[in-house]
Each structure stands twice: as structure tokens, then as C-alpha cells.
Amino acid sequence: MVNLTIDGKKVSVPEGTRILDAAREIGVNIPTLCYLKEINEISACRVCTVEVAGSEKLVPACSTPVQEGMDILTHSPRVMQARVTNVSLILSQHNASCTSCTRSGNCALQTLASDICYQPSYGNSPAKMDWNTKYPLIRDASRCIKCMRCVSVCDKIQTMHVWDVLGTGARTTVGVRDGMDLMDVNCTLCGQCITHCPVGALYSRDDAIKVVRSLGTKDKVYICQVAPAVRSAWGEDLGLGTDVATVGRMVSALRAIGFDYVFDTDFSADLTIMEEGSEFIERLTHRDQYPWPMFTSCCPGWLRFIKTEFPEYVPNLSTAKSPQGMFGAVAKSYFAEKLGRDPEDIVCVSFMPCTAKKWECSVEAINDAATRDVDTVLTTRELAKMLRNFRINVAALPEDDFDSPLGESTGAGVIFGTTGGVMEAALRSAYYLVTGENPDADAFHAVRGMEGVRAATFEIQGIKVRTAVANGLGNARKLLEAIKTGRAEYDFVEIMACPTGCAGGGGQPIRDGQELGEGRGGYLRKLDVAKPIRFSHENPSVQKLYAEYLEKPLSHRSHKLLHTDVSQWSLK
Amino acid sequence: MSRLQIQTPGKAERTVSELYKDLERRIAVAPSGNCPVELTGAFLRLCLAQSCGKCVPCRVGLNKMSELIDKILDGEASEDDLDTLEYSAKSIADTADCAIGHEAAQIISDGFAAFKDDYLSHIHNHRCISSFAAVPCASNCPAHVDIPGYIALVRAGRYADAVRLIREDNPFPSVCGLICEHPCEEHCRRNIVDNSVNIRGLKRAAIENAGTVPAPKCLPPTGKKVCVIGGGPTGLTAAYFLALMGHKVTVYERRKQFGGMLRYGIPRYRLPASYLDADIDAILSTGVEAHLNVDVGKDIKFEDILENYDGVYIAIGAHSYKMPGIPGEDSKGVLSAVELLRAMGDNEPMDLKGKRVCVIGGGNVAMDACRTALRLGASSVQCVYRRTVKDMTALPEEIAGAEAEGVEMVTLMAPVRVNADAEGNVTGLVVQPQMLGDYSRGRPAPRKADAPEVELKCEVVIAAIGQAIDFGNLREAGVPEKMGKLQTENTGEVAGKNGVYAGGDCASGPATVIKAIQAGKIAAANLDEYFGFHTDVSQDIEIPQAGYQFKNACGRSNMRERAPLERVKDFELIENEMPLEEAMQECSRCLRCDHFGYGGFRGGRQRW
């Protein structure tokens, strides 16, 4: 242990602890901007500098390890002056038109600037924004503070190296690697750079206005679907915990802002399991006709990744569409028929924890029931923004149920939103499809957890099923390398591009410096346990859909509506 | 009334003069990878600040060029602006009244010739094509040794780990601890504060304190076989890394011992055999199959090697030599420095007792020849060079060492002929006085001065004017050559010969040991890729965390040497070890660019 003094208080911390963390131990909160623990420890912004008694220079608290006997001052006159200077310097190049910024009220720089008594004396000359704002992922150079977090996150967590530092000296900036266009560098659109940006320099395309200005008009039927992970986080940007921001109130809120039908992506997650599970059984029973292992196909970031990084494995993908895609196809065929409306009269809006879904819905090859099966994808952040826009008082709303028939779901559907959940849901039903009996709903708990790559082998009626689950694209890459070099062999592999899965998705609410995916995933697991039905194949609405319309999994109509050939998907 | 007064500089003048010195050091550090256009703009501003402002081209022209460069850097310029910049520079150089304006405009013109691509990239893509080198020492080391890493390990007293870390990139730590030319120190950021860190000295501290450090275990056999032709530094480096990767390596060396120029070119007083052998032993301990006295092309056919191995590395060095081509050079007593030093390598010294020796040349080999001749008992040694001492290519410390030991520098003299007696024995070297004139290739070119020839009386003339490559039978085997060197790609690959690589002196021309090591490392990595692997030989040695430290100016500890008149009597090592106390202070001077500055971002470590 190392003993030191911070602002006159004694503290004892393990060797190697940084001054920043030592200070937090005793409740001293030193501000940071560029720091992201273990990901971006580059001490670039210099707003965390503190004074070490006897030291010639101030030192950055984020990267300086403690030393025995250090006497640290976090708000000496030198420190205060330095912090004011550095924040002012950052602000001199920052486009501080906060009112129109997606991060207003949730911005590390805004908070820091408003917390200090600063005297701007450097003028304001931000860089110019130079970006195609039609892209799902947008970078506004005028807001960038060059903290390099996006570069580090994309390098270290996702291993995609989309972002890079460009130029040197005063003209150093961040941009797409080699000065290329975003759409030419195989960006997966996972959005992890967005959720790790301390300011509003990176954001997903804001599509909410498209919905806001037409919602409730009578010539169209407005329906929406809500992805599993959205329910674990939708209240965060409204300042509400899951105790108030319940699933029932989320349904009420969506109804309150004008959706004619509020449906659930959990329903189509159950449908996905029927198709993907049956496909897996088909492959398993005709082993030599298929390449191995089979990969899940619900995550669009992962699909972009495999198409560019491991294209030889595209034939291994399950042909099942994602739950979002299946929902759109069913809504604009089966449900349209039920309503007796032209599919083109239905406006289908998805609420997703994801930025890449904005691309997925626009892929030409995925639209099988109408011009666009899903018209607009909005993120969890956009959902909260809309509710504020409509001035919905969530706490005062009653609990409500999803509409029928595309609103009924099982516990297996809700865990789609967390790493391992798709695998577990699929195994629950695959077991039933093979044996004709339900397993214990928790029989496949070995695939749960938060480690980057997890493997587990199960036996279903004498058939060994070797499974692997990876979350985060760096981990996916490791797993794929292992498969490619023959170091590992699996039958069924689930990949989610974002760390912790969709719960930690690029469209989820942002809390600077906090990783909330694991907690949100835990909430989804609780919802699973609380559900009366925990097997996708027991979803009555899914059963009814097959009986009335699709006939059976992998039927001709299922193939037409619910399956896709990812090799035909354009990445642009 | 007094008319004149003694001028004393005022405070401002004194300070500016100091600032110039600080700036000189800063410029000398020259970090690699900065935007050359931006630097040009900055240099131009400095030149403008030095202008008296009398003449139009300088006062207005430099300023306009500076504005144009800013426009280019801001991404707002067109190719027309670039044209304007180019012809303005020419006109300003043509019409400036004095050197201040002329040389400033020349900076722009020279830049155009060197990095027009970068200018164009700023205009078309609004960005620079260079990228900043995070850790100057490691970037500038041809082998990219993790220098801040091993300095931190030495500081922590983990000497064996320091040696292990060095070996991840360079299997010759002992050799390099003594004789590396240390290009790493050239751009050391510490120069901005005071003076570069004594990096080579700290490498020597690591090896002196580490004891014997065994080589790491080889990875499982891959079944691939590689033949290395030549057991010098580059051949053995390749052999070492290939063996660690699990490939089966055979080395053929045509001389009696391994080491190449390290043994047959570098004198023992700079590199004792025990140090060289320590590195070679570690390399061979990886299971490299080593054969001495085998001359490929004579004892084994090159074709057979191509037939029997999956990969070949040609590393035959440059063991032939050039002679000046002057009348009388076939006299008895005329020899090349290569011959003199080669004989020393096998411990068969020539007898120069009581003889007067003239050495022709001004490079490191000339210094080695001079100092070896003194140790072999020469009564006098004169080093004859066409230019001045300042223009010699030998390291300044080598020149100073030679002078201290009693070598006489005879400069601005060009050899004309060798005089000999009736039996053909050398009696003297006739030289022609020279004067320096116009520059050619960055150095002042000597030309014949209007002064009579001089005869330097001597019995031995040693030529140290360059080495050449002895191709032996490779030429017939169809290995391509160009300008006296083996022709290779920058990957080391020999064009048109799959799996055949070449490197070191035979491909680059005579160069430093660390460049030979670099070539061996490149060949090993690329052969491994060629075999379809991507083997990582790093060992995950944990590097001590960079702590908070003072960066006050602090003197550099230089190496000390034995007294000149004592050391000149023997072939024992002349350089003393750095005392541990000094080594620790020297370690603390390291600015840890692997952690601070850009090194902290994306890590300062380079994987290969």
C-alpha cells in the first residue's frame, strides 16, 4: 500500500493506483475529459492536472501513479488557474452552440465549462464540419475536442481502426483513417465511438423529426416495435430508473405520443428463434451439406464486420433475418392483411439500442413485404428525446400492455438484448424441437456472463452442440481467428458487435465514463425469469402466425418473408 | 566627447542569443513525421523575423509565401497557389539582396523538390501524409529496439529482463552495447532539455549487470528449413529469429569463425571477443545448425541450397575492398585496412614494429586501421585525408580517440603515388595539397591547390577508402546485382527468386551493425510470412510504469576510456563501464516518450 495526502486528507491505496482513483477513494472528484479507464489514458486534455507539493510542474491525475508520501493539492491556485486556462483553450476551438447539440445536458465539456469560473479570452474558431449527414453515423469536426477516445475505442475494443489521428502540430485532428470516406473503410456503424465521445462530436443521424411531424395523422397507420434492450434503458435520459420507467409505462408513453399500435420486437425475436432454431436443426441433421459453424445473424454491426473482415464465412450465417427485419416483414404482410390495409399505408417505426439498424432497414435486399418493411429506426436516445418533445410525464402514466398480435412475447425473446441471450433462447427451443420436450429454462445458463468470448458444450439427445458467444468486435475477431486457424471448433456461434450486447449498444443512452451494459443486461435477465412463458415455441401469437399464415418454420412463405441472403446486402 | 564605446549586449539581446541556442537544440531533435509543409512555414516565419526589411523580395515576398503556406495548410489553396509559391520562391532567391532572403527562398524551393506530394495532399485532400513518430529513439533505431522499455528495466534493476527485451528486436545486445553507432540518440527528445540520454551506455550497463541470460525457448517446429549464407550480424540475426519461430536453420560461414565484420573488421580494443562470443553463443543455443569453413558456391552448390531449403537468406557481407588506383600501389608494404583487420580477427597480427605507417581515408575503418597499426608497434601513424577533420565521416569520438593515442591527422592532402626502393619496398607516400571549394552532395569538394607535392616518408601504406562485395559464385547462380550490390526489394526479397532473401552489407553496401541487424530481422519476418505464418516472438516482458518525475536539466554521463598512452599499448577494451550510480541518473533522464506525449496513445511499443 502507498500512503499519501490529498487535499490534506490521508489515503492509503495499492501501488500503481493513479492519483485520480486515489482521490475518488476519499470523495475528491477531479474532473476529466479525455480519460477512459484502460482504453484511453493519454492525458491529452490536461484538465485533471493537480499539484504535487515540491514538484516543478503540475501532473495529470489520470495517468500519474501515486508515490509514497505524495502531498497532492487538487484545488491550489495554480491548479485552478491551469484548469481555467485549459478548459478555455478547449472551448476556443469548440462549437458551443449547445442548444442544438444532441448531448446538451449530457456533455462532459458543458458540465465542466459551466462548473468553472472561466473567462474566455481566446475567441472561438472551431473547425468546419465536413461530413455527409445522410450517413447513420455523423462526425461534427466543429465539436471535436481531439480527446482521441473514438480512435482508442475503435482500435482497442472493436479493432476496426476506422478513426485515426490526422495531421501534426496545431492542425492535428481526428478523421476517418487515411482521410477516406466513412463508407469506404468498412465501418460497422456499431456506434461505440458515439457512446464514448465526451461531447457531441459523434452522433447518430437524428431521424426523430420524420416521425414527430407526422405521427397521429389519420391517413396512415402508425405502428412501432421496441427492441428488447431499449426497455432496460429508455428511462435513463429522462432521469428515471427501471422502477418508474417500466415496460408497461413505456407502452403507455408510446401510445400517448400517437402510435396506433405498440408492438414488441420480443415477439419477432421469438419468431427468429423458430426460424433460426429450425435452420440449426436442419443443418445439424444434414451436417455435410453446410459450412460450420452456424453464426447468428441478428446484429447488423456483426454482419458488416463479417462481410468485410471474414467474407469467406458469410455462407455460415443463419439466413434468418433479424427480429427487426422479421417484424417489418410480418407487419406489412400478415398484420396488414388483418387490418385490411395496403402495406404502404402502414408506417413502421423501430426503437433500437443500435445505430447500425438505421442502415439495416435501408438495405434493399431486406425489404420483402413493402417498399420499406421498416420505415424509420430511432435509437433509445431518440425515444427519450421524443418523449420530452411530447412532454410526456412518464411517472404519471399507467402501466399498459403491448398490442396484439405482434406484442406478445416470452422470456426467451427479451434476453435477445444481452450477450448470450440469442444463443440461450435458441438452445431452449432447439432442445424442444429435437426432443419434443422442454428443457429446464435455465439449463443453458453456461452461456451467460460478460466475458468477451465464452464457450460451452451441451448434449441434446446424444447430439453434442458446441457453442460459443462473443460480444464486442475485438472479441469476435479473436473467436473468428481461432475458428479460421482450426484452434477452435464450434457448431453454433452468437456474435453481438457491442460490448455486453445490445444492452451496451451504440444507440443506448450515454453516461460519460460509465459502462452500463452489464446492469441493463441483468435487468433483461430478470424480465425473462418473471415471464410466464420462457420458450419461444410456446408464444401463442407466434403459433397462431404459423397456423394462420406462415404454415411452419422454413416454409415457402417463411423463406420469402423471414429469410435473406446477406451476401446480397450492400454496405453503402 | 568620446566617439566610440565598447558595446555590451543588453538583456534582451543576451536572452535572444540564449533562445537561439535552445532553438538549435530543439531543431536538432527534429521529431520524425511532423508535417513538412507546416515546418517549412514555421522556418519561413523565423527567416522573416531575421530580415532587416530593406528589400521587397524579403520583406514582402517571404511574408506572402508564409501566407500562401497557411492557406495550403488550411485546405483552402488550389494548385494555382502552389504555382505562385513555386515561382515566387525562385524570383525571391534570384532577386534578394543578401543571404537572409536568398536562403529563405531556397528553403521553399528545396522543399518543393523533396515533398511536393505533401503539398498536393494538403491541396486535394486537406491533410498531411506524414504521421508522427511517437518514440523518437525507437523509431530511429533501425531494429526498433524498445529503448524506453529497457531503460526503465535497467532503472528497476531488472537487467536480465532488459537484455531479454533488447533481444526481442536485436540478438546482439553485447555487441551493440559497445559499438552501436546509436542513431537512437540523435533525435532523443531529452536534447530539448539538455542533451540526449546515453542510450548505448545504458545498454552496456544492462549487459554488464545481467550475467548470462539464456535465449528464449523456440516455438514448436514448423517443418520449414532455411539456409543462411554468411555468419555475420545480419545472417545470425535472421537465423536467431527464424529458429525462435520454429523453423529449422542452417548457417554456412566461409571463415574460421562466426561474426563477419564484427570479428574481421572491428578491432578487439573496441569489441573484445568475449562480448561477441556471448551474443553468438546465445544465438546458436536456439538450435541453429552452424557450419564454419564452408564456402557456398565452392564447397556447396548454390543450386543445391535452393533445392534443399524452403527459404534462403544471402548475407555474405562486403569483405572485398577498394584501392586508390595510384602508381606504385603494388609495392611491398601497401595493403588494405580490410586485410589488416581481417588478420587480427583470426589472431594473426601483421608485424608493423618500428614502421612508419600512412593510412589513407577518413572513415571509421581508417580510424580502426590507424589505431590498430599503433598497437602493432608502428613508430608513427599518419592519417591522410583529402578534406578537413570536420569533414571526416568517422564518428567524432573515434577521431578524438585516434588523435589522443598519437595518430597524426594529415588533412587536405590527396594521395598521388607510392614511392618504392629498388626491391619494391614502400619508401613514401606522395600527396598533393588540396583546398576546399564548392559543395558537392552536401560536402565541400576538395580540389588541387596551387602548392607543390609533399612526400610522407613511410614503410607501410594502408588504404581505408571503402569496401566491396565479393560475389563469389552467386553471379553465375543468377542472383541479380546492381551497382556492385545484390539487388533486392525493400522487403529483402531477391527479385525473381521465390523464398530467396538477401540483406546486410551485400545488399545495402557497407553499413553499420544495427542496419545489418535490421536487415536480418526483416528477412526473418518476411520469410516467416512467406511460409504462411505470422509468428510473434515477443515475450510480454512487463515494462515498469512511468512515474511522475522531475525533468530539470541534468548533465549527461558520458563513457570514460582508459588513458590514451596506456591503452595504446594493448588490444584490451578501451571503454570503461558506466558506474551504476551514473547509470541510474542516466536512466532517470529518460523522458519515457513511450508513456508521455504521443507514446501514451496507441502505446509507444512497436510490434513486428
Contact A198, A34 (CB under 8 A): yes
State the average pLDDT over residues A533-553. 97
State the average pLDDT over residues B511-515. 95
**How confident is residue B534, by pLDDT bands cut at 50, 70 and 90?**
confident
For chain A, give every domain's residue range: 2-91, 93-204, 209-568
**How confident is residue B471, by pLDDT bands cut at 50, 70 and 90?**
confident
Res A479 pLDDT > 90: yes
Contact B310, B228 (CB under 8 A): no
Determine the pLDDT at residue B291. Answer: 97
Of B125, B132, B600, the CB nearest to A168: B132
The closest alpha carbon to A294, from A430, A434, A472, A459, belongs to A430
For B583-594, the pLDDT digits (tens) are 999 999 999 999
Q: How far is A167 from chain B (nearest CA, A)?
A: 5
The closest alpha carbon to A264, from A419, A393, A410, belongs to A410
State the average pLDDT over residues A493-501. 98
For A67-114, the pLDDT digits (tens) are 999 999 999 999 999 999 999 999 999 999 999 999 999 999 999 999
Q: What torsion do the CA atoms of A508, A514, A517, A519 make, to the nearest 10 degrees?
A: -120
Largest CA distance in chain A: 80
Pick the CATH number of A93-204 from 3.90.1010.20, 2.40.30.30, 3.30.70.20, 3.30.360.10: 3.30.70.20
The closest alpha carbon to B302, from B110, B461, B471, B437, belongs to B471
The closest alpha carbon to B32, from B131, B118, B170, B151, belongs to B131
The closest alpha carbon to A177, from A186, A189, A168, belongs to A186
The closest alpha carbon to A267, from A215, A181, A326, belongs to A326
For A125-167, the pLDDT digits (tens) are 999 999 999 999 999 999 999 999 999 999 999 999 999 988 8
Contact A10, A25 (CB under 8 A): no
Record the cell numbers describing residue B544, joined without a space.
515498469
Q: What contacts A389, CB < 8 A, 6 or more positions away? A: A208, A212
Determine the pLDDT at residue A52. Answer: 95
**Chain centroid offset of residue B591 CA:** 23
For A188-242, the pLDDT digits (tens) are 999 999 999 999 999 999 999 999 998 988 899 999 999 999 999 999 999 999 9
User: Which uninterrupted H or E stretch holds B65?
Assistant: helix B62-73
Res B181 pLDDT > 70: yes
Res B458 pLDDT > 80: yes
Q: What torsion do the CA atoms of B222, B227, B230, B232 make, to the nearest 10 degrees?
A: 0
CB atoms within 10 A of CB A557: 14
Determine the pLDDT at residue A548. Answer: 96
In sequence order, what DSSP letters do the residues of B112-153 get, joined into one string? HHHHHHHHHHHHHHSS-S----SSHHHHHSTT---HHHHHHH
Q: What is the 3-state secondary structure (H, E, C) of A166-182?
A: ECCHHHCEEEEHHHCCH
Q: How many CB pairs under 8 A join A and B?
A: 59
* A100 backbone dihedrals φ, ψ, rounded to 5°: -100, 10
Fold of B225-318+469-530: FAD/NAD(P)-binding domain (3.50.50)
Contact B180, B512 (CB under 8 A): yes
Determine the pLDDT at residue B606. Answer: 62
Contact A323, A422 (CB under 8 A): no
Fold match between domain A93-204 and domain A209-568: no
Which SS3 state, helix, strand or coil, does residue A213 take? coil
Determine the pLDDT at residue B603. Answer: 60
B34/A52 Cβ within 8 A: no
State the average pLDDT over residues A456-464. 93
Determine the pLDDT at residue B607. Answer: 64
CA B434/CA A348 separation, integer angstroms: 91
Q: How far is B226 from chain A (nearest CA, A)?
A: 24
CA B511/CA B508 separation, integer angstroms: 7
Res B604 pLDDT > 60: no
* Burial class of residue B118 in the structure, from the number of CB atoms within 10 Å of its CB (0-12 exposed, 13-18 middle, 19+ buried): buried
In this structure, of A332-336, A430-434, A483-487, B61-65, the range with the lowest mean pLDDT score is A483-487
Q: What is the percentage of chain A residues whose pLDDT exceeds 90?
A: 93
For B543-563, the pLDDT digits (tens) are 998 887 667 899 999 999 999
In this structure, of A8-17, A124-133, B593-602, the range with the lowest mean pLDDT score is B593-602
B550/A155 Cβ within 8 A: no
User: Which uninterrupted H or E stretch holds B40?
Assistant: helix B36-49
- B321-467 under CATH 3.40.50.300, yes or no: no
Q: What contacts B239, CB < 8 A, 6 or more positions away? A: B226, B228, B249, B251, B283, B286, B288, B313, B520
A55/B73 Cβ within 8 A: no
Residue of B601, B605, B607 to mutate, interface with A, max A Cβ within 10 Å: B601
For B93-111, the pLDDT digits (tens) are 999 999 999 999 999 999 9
A52/B600 Cβ within 8 A: no
Determine the pLDDT at residue B355. Answer: 97
CB atoms within 10 A of CB A221: 18
CB atoms within 10 A of CB B134: 22
Determine the pLDDT at residue B480. Answer: 84
Record the cell numbers describing residue A362, joined without a space.
435501408
In sequence order, what DSSP letters do the residues of A538-571 get, joined into one string? G-HHHHHHIIIII-STT-HHHHHHHB--GGG---
CB atoms within 10 A of CB B303: 12
**How confident is residue B596, by pLDDT bands cut at 50, 70 and 90?**
confident
Q: What contacts B94, CB < 8 A, 6 or more positions away? A: none
The closest alpha carbon to A400, from A514, A509, A274, A249, belongs to A249
Q: What is the percentage of chain B residues whose pLDDT exceeds 70?
A: 99
CA B369/CA B361 separation, integer angstroms: 10
Contacts of A49 in chain B (CB under 8 A): none
Look up the CATH number of domain B34-125. Answer: 1.20.1440.230
Residue of B69, B602, B607 to mutate, interface with A, max A Cβ within 10 Å: B602
- A2-91 under CATH 3.40.50.10190, yes or no: no
Largest CA distance in chain B: 97
Of B132, B548, B602, the CB nearest to A67: B548
User: What's the pTM?
Assistant: 0.86
Of B128, B547, B601, the CB nearest to A65: B547
For chain B, give every domain's residue range: 34-125, 143-215+545-600, 225-318+469-530, 321-467
Contacts of B33 in chain A (CB under 8 A): 168
Q: In what order do the strands lie in the sheet with B311-314?
A: B289-291, B248-252, B225-229, B311-314, B500-502
A64/B548 Cβ within 8 A: yes
ipTM value of the model? 0.79
The pLDDT mean for chain B works out to 93
Q: How far is B592 from chain A (nearest CA, A)?
A: 13
In sequence order, what DSSP letters do the residues of B191-254 get, joined into one string? HHHSS---HHHHHHHHHHHH---PPPPPPPP-S-EEEEE--SHHHHHHHHHHHHTT-EEEEE-S
Contacts of B127 in chain A (CB under 8 A): 166-167, 175, 179
CA B170/CA B514 separation, integer angstroms: 8
DSSP class of residue B488 equals B
CA B500/CA B296 separation, integer angstroms: 15
Determine the pLDDT at residue B248. Answer: 97
B127/A175 Cβ within 8 A: yes
Res B260 pLDDT > 70: yes
* Ranges assigned E (strand) in B32-180: none
Q: Which CATH architecture has domain B143-215+545-600?
A: Orthogonal Bundle (1.10)
From residue A402, give the alpha-carbon distance in Å to each of A395, A521, A547.
Answer: 18, 21, 21
Of A43, A52, A171, the CB nearest to B73: A171
Q: What is the percentage of chain B residues whose pLDDT exceeds 90?
A: 78
CA A260/CA A336 separation, integer angstroms: 13
Question: For cell 510480454, what's the residue?
Answer: B540
Look up the CATH number of domain A209-568. Answer: 3.40.950.10
A152/B601 Cβ within 8 A: yes
Considering only residues B473 and B75, tell me which one the structure prediction assigns the higher pLDDT. Answer: B75
A39 in reach of chain B (CB within 8 A): no
The closest alpha carbon to B561, from B545, B575, B546, B547, belongs to B575
* Burial class of residue B9 in the structure, from the number of CB atoms within 10 Å of its CB (0-12 exposed, 13-18 middle, 19+ buried): exposed
